[in-house]
Structure 1
């Protein structure tokens, strides 16, 4: 659930606006809000996020050239999906330990966390409708020549929830597909799992890297 983070003030003090979206698939607005963003209704999550960005821009809170999106884990799936659907809305995207190879992962029953996740996403091995639904939004499978924004993807070598090869594969496929000339970066933590660095100061360094990327993406929005 949404909570206060003092870290965001590092950007706010620099004149940034920090906005947190409550898209369907979460439970901030009740159980129905959660159900409307899962399984066959998962696309609502992505279109909700796009609608939030468009609304902020219409209200004068930023514009595509200075908007950076952030999401981690399943929120990283969101980042990958909106990058494919509306790359024009953002100048930068930060995808932390992103679940971007959804179709392959949900089809691999040998992964320890795949079977327990089938009730959430659907089982593409036994349900053709679930296969088609996941295939329609899986970020890795929907990469195409587009002017992608600058991207920072992070991963952890020991991550049991989002395996390290997901962000690695995604970045490798994004780089030749992007027509914008903007950088597609990968930071792999060789000593961390899903939650990132364990040490207090190491964790702050990871946040500093993400914020530095966001600042760079805006300051150099016209540069490759």
Structure 2
């Protein structure tokens, strides 16, 4: 969702936190060797069997629709061992955003090398991640001193 809205209306946001974002939808849904792709076809559509569903996915797929425009500050978070949203999706999305943006806002990527889809385990490790996200949100909202 956050990848799609970043493309559709970047000017509406002071910043975007994209936690384990499913942003390369078209490539993922075209790869029937990924274990989670075939079960997801009923929800997302099967671009291998339907040209119409291919066009639907291509129309909103965040990675495929990054444009030459100013993007707001973005923090993309991924987990190295995430089986649902592979770490390379947000990585290549951030690279394309950095290449295409016409603005000066930071576009950041944080890959947790010891976590999967749900972030770090353990109460204090999870709180550390939440604090990091809050710090980013406060910074981009103009609240440097809290």
Q: Structure 2-normalised TM-score?
A: 0.96
Q: Are 2:92 and 1:179 equivalent residues in the alignment?
A: no
Aligned partners of 2:46, 2:33: CA distance in 1, in Å?
A: 13
**Aligned partner of residue 78 in structure 2, secondary structure:** strand
Aligned partners of 1:149, 1:91: CA distance in 2, in Å?
A: 6
Which residues of 2 match residues 49-60 of structure 1 at below 5 A? none
Deviation at 1:157, TM superposition (A): 0.4
The match for 1:192 is 115
Which residues of 2 match residues 78-157 of structure 1 at below 5 A? 78-157=1-80
Q: Which runs of 5 or more residues in structure 2 are unaligned?
A: none
Which digits, 9 at most, give the CA deviation of each residue in 1:93-129, with x for residues without a partner? Answer: 0000000000000000111000000000010011100
Aligned partners of 1:145, 1:133: CA distance in 2, in Å?
A: 22
Aligned partners of 2:33, 2:133: CA distance in 1, in Å?
A: 32
Which digits, 9 at most, give the CA deviation of each residue in 1:117-150, with x for residues without a partner? Answer: 0000010011100000000000000001111000
**Aligned partner of residue 206 in structure 1, secondary structure:** helix
Runs of 4+ residues over 2 Å off in structure 1: none
Deviation at 1:199, TM superposition (A): 1.1
| Residue among 134, 140, 145 paired with 1:211 | 134
Aligned partners of 1:142, 1:116: CA distance in 2, in Å?
A: 25
Aligned partners of 1:185, 1:129: CA distance in 2, in Å?
A: 34
Deviation at 1:180, TM superposition (A): 1.5
Please, what is the CA RMSD of the aligned residues?
A: 1.2
Deviation at 1:218, TM superposition (A): 1.5
Deviation at 1:91, TM superposition (A): 1.2
Mark the structure with the bigger radius of gyration: 1
Aligned partners of 2:74, 2:101: CA distance in 1, in Å?
A: 10
Query: Larger relative contact order (C-alpha < 8 A, sep ≥ 6)?
Result: 2
Q: Which runs of 5 or more residues in structure 1 are unaligned?
A: 1-77
